[in-house]
Structure 1
């Protein structure tokens, strides 16, 4: 158990000052933001270091440098401040009559293909719950849930989920999108290795779809002729329409964007192109609102 004097020194004001100093490298901005004299900020930090028994910051010619112990505190301080903000937000929502807030991270595939209808159906039955949804690449979804930034996440099934609990959410099929006059148009399906003589449009470098495409090209010893990275599925289809190259998107995404652009879709026959999207949580003991949403999404398949 921590000594009481340590707990007293880990107050939110001191932690916020410490984080600001670490990020800015100087006491001045932290003091100005908190409307506290620099000498008072310095005194708080000295008392914090004495309470913890470690050196957190070292004065250098160009400002303050963070020690290894300071890096450890910085990591936890950011989480504590974030959680404090969430507490304030959720209590404010309860004051308005909202009985629960679910913090959720999801990759682009889930958000575009399935979540709009699934969340609409959930909220139609649970109108006292509010959902805070943020888009992240699959790896970022897992990290965010692990770090407690969200109650649950949805990521690609190929993403390592480490210690997180994982449940099936949905399945999808990747297709190649292209102009009707592309040499590969009209095929019933294609193996990815047979497409590598042509140019590609890729999603952003952190996307699980781009990682699969890049890894498959490497596994067959062929270069991927990538002409451009784009941030979203609509941009992939738009670039394919402009004859910039082939795009790889989920079948439902093509139905939403590609068909209206007079593009064609050819299914990929590779096993990795038949994907799972999975729900991840830290453990089974979720807040009631989050538990209800997980149960709803797990039945969506």
Structure 2
């Protein structure tokens, strides 16, 4: 019953009004912002609360504040309004000759190392296809594809793919990043265990590199001496340059960001340092024609190492 009531009564105008009341703090200011009479705005909110069966606001002399139920609706309501706006933008692109959209999720390693050139080349061959690319950690890539947020994703091969179809995309090699005067900088190669007496600059906690290095440290019977988390490889390079510690990153990311800063990279000898990045999809049948084009193109980009 509640679901049917929501379908009938949770229209976009009322939802937008609800968000406006929260942001403006009063019904009067929200009604003015949305160009609707105060009485009509009040009626819409009352009907919305009746449809949901909960109070959304605490009405006070100085304004209106959200209840716990209101906070829940705000979270979902903003996402719904964002999706509607995004849908309108994408549909509008079709009037300008865009043939289709591909929604794609990828981890940081793929976005930094390989996708700029791969997507450029694909776009040159298919100029009427637009790609919506979002960065997520590998686990988030898998979940996003499962949830239908994206048509395809790229993640580390050691990620639990939860039944998704996967194929190899690229390979990369992890190296130890350090200042040129670090005691380990003269080594030609390093075992990860030999680095664990040094302080570390780590990627964000959900990244596959962060999780793998913590696991490898535990396997070696030590804890990773992590001084700071950073959001990306460029930030890691700057922190290492500032002597905050050493770091683990892909060789190509070092070449893009670390070499110019005068940093040193030493290859790891551990088996897990030679990685595969994989493409994941729900299944080929579910892919749109343009998503299938990109999926098939990216399968053919792997270069020998």
Instruction: Quickly name the TM-score band, shorter chain normalised.
Output: 0.7 to 0.9
Give 5+ residue unaligned stretches, structure 1: none
The equivalent of 1:295 in structure 2 is 296
Q: CA deviation at 1:85?
A: 1.9
Tell me the SS of whatever aligns to 1:240: helix
Tell me the SS of whatever aligns to 1:67: helix
Deviations 1:154-173 (A, max 9, x none): 22233334364443322211
TM-score (norm 1): 0.82
> Is this contact kept in 1: 2:2–2:51, CA < 8 A?
no
Tell me the SS of whatever aligns to 1:264: strand
Q: CA deviation at 1:2?
A: 9.3
Q: Bigger CA drift: 99-108 or 192-201?
A: 99-108
Deviations 1:244-287 (A, max 9, x none): 32221101112223333343322222233222222333444133
CA distance in 1, matches of 2:122, 2:220: 43
Q: CA deviation at 1:185?
A: 2.4
TM-score (norm 2): 0.81
Deviations 1:224-243 (A, max 9, x none): 22233333212323333344
Q: Please give the root-mean-square deviation of Cα atoms over the aligned residues, in Å.
A: 3.2
**Judging changes above 3 Å, is the alpha-carbon distance between structure 1 residues 60 and 142 closer, same or farther for their aligned structure 2 residues?**
farther
Give 5+ residue unaligned stretches, structure 2: none
CA distance in 2, matches of 1:151, 1:130: 13
The equivalent of 2:220 in structure 1 is 220
> Is this contact kept in 2: 1:233–1:253, CA < 8 A?
yes
Q: Do structure 1's residue 112 and structure 2's residue 102 form an aligned pair? A: no
The equivalent of 1:158 in structure 2 is 158
Q: Aligned pair count?
A: 298
> Is this contact kept in 1: 2:22–2:65, CA < 8 A?
no
Deviations 1:96-145 (A, max 9, x none): 11111222222221111000111112111101112222323334434444
Q: Which runs of 4+ in 1 moved over 6 A?
A: 1-5, 22-26
Tell me the SS of whatever aligns to 2:67: strand
CA distance in 1, matches of 2:32, 2:167: 47
